[in-house]
Structure 1
Amino acid sequence: MAMLDETLDDWGTARLTLNRPERHNAFNADLIAALTEAFTRLSAVPDVRAIILSGAGKSFSAGADLDWMRAAATWSEADNQADAMRLSDMLAAINNCAKPVIVVAHGHVTGGGVGLVACADMAVAIDGAQFRLSEVRLGLTPATISPFVIAKIGAAARRWFLTAEAFTADQALAMGLVNEIATDADAAEAIVAHWLAHIGQAAPQAIADAKRLALDFADQPITDELREETARRIAARRVSREGREGINAFLTKGKPSWVLE
């Protein structure tokens, strides 16, 4: 059985499902490699318009597989650093993916599972989901996921990193880790469908470039150099095929070629 299930529909929605339900979709080296490969590959596929990541079974993801972590404790520090970089590479592949990434989180969302949610562009939590950054209880720290989690929830990380206490979907919403809460799986699917409908009206490369704006300019001071870069980027968009087509369609009340029904 594959640790990561993948489907692609006619609309261009790729669905990735973590498929280790007996381990609450905990990471091991194979699942990390599968996620890295899938997001890297799908990021470059023109027909893919969005990627949805969810988990099979009772939980979205319980973070690191403890048997894998037990084995890692016997490795050298250099081997552990290389292993941690593979996890970081996986998170970066999700965070930097050129496609909109949507996470549907349910059940237990622990440690690295929180990292997955933090790397998404949009996330919906199903009511009853329980989040926890539990590393310090194991004598560890959330070091590898920390850049992605801090980028999403900011100073709130200081509490949750240190106490390792559980927090609810409502608390995750309040701190910006998730964008919506759904009462059940059907309601979550309706929220995802709403997001997809809007994504389907937008130019794919413009979406990729807009995502880079959000990633590149977050928390940056507004300098002359930054303003110059923003001018360069919009100039490139204006003369791009998408830019010209989109403006022309708006002025002529037409429909751009990228619009999905």
Structure 2
Amino acid sequence: MDHVNLEIDGRGVATLHLARSEKRNALSAQMMDEITQTARDLDANAAVRVVILAAEGAVFCAGGDLGWMRDQMASDDATRGKEARRLAGMLQALNTMSKPLIGRVQGDAFGGGVGMCCVCDAVVAFDAAMFGLTETKLGLIPATIGPYVMARMGEGRARQVFMSSRRFDAKEALGLGIVTRVVPAAELDAAVATEVDPYLSCAPGAVAAAKAYARSYGPVIDDATIDRSIAALLKQWASAEAGEGIAAFFEKRKPNWI
């Protein structure tokens, strides 16, 4: 695989690294497919006890690749639907993984990067990391990540940051529920280890059953919910604002609503 790296140690701890650091780990079509397949493979691997979602480079994930988004502006409805489902499928593969999923956020997380935090069971973040749901600056909306953001944050807290594209720091992300622990860079790996280690003393089947049970009491994110999120994204992709926002970004100018 080109855009993810995977390591599995002798304890059964797998680390899935986003490995597109030259593009700030922005989610391209290929990267999304690789994450989805790796998540499924890890879920099916009985030797894997815990999964760490990490990233290479200075940025955890800058969100969706803007070149991929620009391609959608010129695509037909069928192609757009396929691409939106690719993104939704990646998030659902991570969210439904039966293994505990621990986020190691060593840098900034925007858009889809926040969505990836919200599908983790625990997230340890570098204290200087910045976060943001920045889609509306581009004329888009956080559609396919929306169900997971709402499940993690709740509507009231989510509405503080869901529509404004405002960037916020790790301390605020902790208060919003996006991350569960904030530490200095030097303590990041030790803090991740404190999240991982307890699972190695637990019965794997019981952990998987407990996770599924907990999810059953949370908001329902089923096929209908995912279809609704895809429809919302397709509607916004077709809007004049999305076309203007993406064009303005690549032309290095302000969009016409500023």
TM-score (norm 1): 0.82
Distance 1:196 1:54 in 2: 13
Unaligned runs of 5+ in 1: 221-261
Query: Would the aligned equivalents of 2:150 and 2:158 in 1 still touch at CA under 8 Å?
Result: yes
CA distance in 2, matches of 1:31, 1:206: 31
Question: 1:162: Cα distance to partner?
Answer: 1.3
Q: How far 1:219 moved relative to its partner? A: 5.5
Name the stretch that deviates more: 111-120 or 80-89. Answer: 80-89
Instruction: Tell me the equivalent position of 2:140.
Output: 140
- Residue 23 in 1 paired to residue 23 in 2? yes
Equivalent in the alignment of 1:157: 158
Per-residue CA shift, 1:56-96, capped at 9, x if unaligned? 11100000111111111111123212211111111011011
Q: Secondary structure at the match of 2:52?
A: strand
Residue in 2 that maps onto 1:178: 179
Which structure carries more relative contact order (alpha carbon 8 Å, separation 6+)?
Answer: 2
Equivalences for 1:37-52 in 2 at 5 Å?
37-52=37-52
**Secondary structure, counterpart of 2:162 in structure 1:** helix
Secondary structure of 2:163's counterpart equals helix
Structure 2: give runs of 5+ residues left out of the alignment: 221-258
> Within 2, Cα distance between the matches of 1:128 and 1:160?
18
Contact preservation (8 Å) 2:104, 2:124: yes
Q: Does 1:189 align with 2:179?
A: no
Equivalent in the alignment of 2:230:
none
Letter aligned with residue 175 of structure 1: L
Q: Secondary structure at the match of 1:60?
A: strand
User: How far apart, in 2, do the equivalents of 1:79 and 1:219 lie?
Assistant: 29
Mapped pair 1:113 → 2:102: no
Encode CA deviations 1:118-148: one digit per residue, 9 max, x unaligned. 0001101101100010001100000000000
Q: Is the 8 A contact 2:36 2:90 kept in 1?
A: yes
Structure 2 partner of 1:33 = 33
Task: Report the equivalent of 1:102.
Answer: 102
Aligned match of 1:84: 84
Q: What SS class does the counterpart of residue 57 from structure 1 fall into?
A: coil
Deviations 1:8-51 (A, max 9, x none): 10000111111111110000010000000000110011110001
State the secondary structure of the residue aligned to 1:120. coil
For residue 105 of structure 1, report the CA deviation from its aligned partner.
1.0
Tell me the CA shift for residue 106 of structure 1.
2.6
The amino acid that maps onto 1:88 is A
* Equivalent pair of 2:151/2:219 in contact (CA under 8 Å): no
1:196, 1:109 → 2: CA distance? 22
Counterpart position of 2:200 = 200
Root-mean-square deviation (Å): 1.2
Structure 1 residue runs of 4+, over 2 Å off? Answer: none
Taking the aligned partners of 1:73 and 1:219, their CA distance within structure 2 comes to 32
Whole-Å Cα distance in 2 between the matches of residues 165 and 201 of structure 1?
A: 41
Report % sequence identity.
37
Change in 2 beyond 3 A, CA 1:11/1:64: same
SS at match of 1:165: coil
Note closer, same or farther for the CA distance 1:166–1:40 as it changes in structure 2 (3 Å cut): same
Q: Does the residue aligned with 2:30 lie in a helix, a strand or coil?
A: helix
SS at match of 1:171: helix
SS state of the match for residue 159, structure 1?
Answer: coil
Aligned residue pairs, count:
219
Find the structure with the greater CA-based Rg: 1
Distance 2:41 2:79 in 1: 26
From the superposition, tell whether residues 110 and 198 of structure 1 become closer, same or farther in structure 2 (CA, over 3 Å). Answer: same
Matched AA of 1:11:
R
Secondary structure in structure 2 of the residue aligned to 1:163: coil
What CA distance in whole angstroms lies between the structure 1 residues aligned with 2:127 and 2:90? 27
